[in-house]
A and B are shown apart, each in its own frame.
Chain A
Amino acid sequence: DAGITQSPRYKITETGRQVTLMCHQTWSHSYMFWYRQDLGHGLRLIYYSAAADITDKGEVPDGYVVSRSKTENFPLTLESATRSQTSVYFCASSLGGGPSGEQYFGPGTRLTVT
């Protein structure tokens, strides 16, 4: 699915540093989502966006910031990374919102905070 990409794929950073994870989709999907995936917790929604300049908190937003100035990009920033933010981060996009259809996931970013 080359239509949605994430960068970097792997990142190691230190506690307290700011980190930005990038997400780019080429389908012009309205909705975009950021999830974190941890063993035993499945996928937990961090933030989502219904359109450019419209974002909203998900289940676990603390410590994260998002922006969406263009439809195709949805970066996720960890303002001051903590060890508890070590996780695999998935970006996803969808034509419609939650009840409205399939979410297409990016390949994921594995983030380690030391």
Chain B
Amino acid sequence: GENVEQHPSTLSVQEGDSAVIKCTYSDSASNYFPWYKQELGKRPQLIIDIRSNVGEKKDQRIAVTLNKTAKHFSLHITETQPEDSAVYFCAASMGSNYQLIWGAGTKLIIKP
């Protein structure tokens, strides 16, 4: 079936450095790619999303890039801060279906 692979599963970076999380998807018809952040014990919340007609999108310290040919997309966080510590999930829409297929998550640790 369709799937989304997310790497790495854990990422530890020094405060102030950049973090990059990568996802690959299998369904060539996928056209919507959101990223969610889940803090410990909390619910997932959308932080940024991108559609297939756009190659890059930025929102302050967060950016997402999409390579449709290679079927992968990435989350970039610059100038990381302690409050960026969380689990980040990528997802991809499954063709014309209303489902999102989710990656397994990346635990981001910001070291002081």
In angstroms, Cα B55 to Cα A13, docked, is 47
Task: Type the 1/0 row for B42-54, where 1 means its CB is closer than 8 Å to any CB of A.
Answer: 1111100101000
In angstroms, Cα B36 to Cα A43, docked, is 11
Docked-complex contact B46 and A103, CB < 8 angstroms: yes
Docked-complex contact A41 and B99, CB < 8 angstroms: no
Q: Name the CB-closest residue of B to A4.
A: B43
Q: What band does the interface of chain A fall in when counting residues whose beta carbon is under 8 Å from B?
A: 20 to 34
Docked-complex contact A99 and B44, CB < 8 angstroms: no
| Residues of the A chain whose Cβ atoms lie less than 8 Å from the Cβ of B104 | 40-42
In angstroms, Cα B45 to Cα A87, docked, is 19
Known: A98-B100, A99-B32. A42 touches B89 (CB 8 A): yes
Known: A42-B103, A42-B104. A102 touches B44 (CB 8 A): no
Q: Which residues of B contact A (CB under 8 A)?
A: 1, 6, 31-32, 34, 42-46, 49, 51, 89, 91, 93-94, 97-105
4 tightest CB-CB pairs across the interface, nearest first?
A: A97-B98, A99-B32, A105-B43, A99-B93
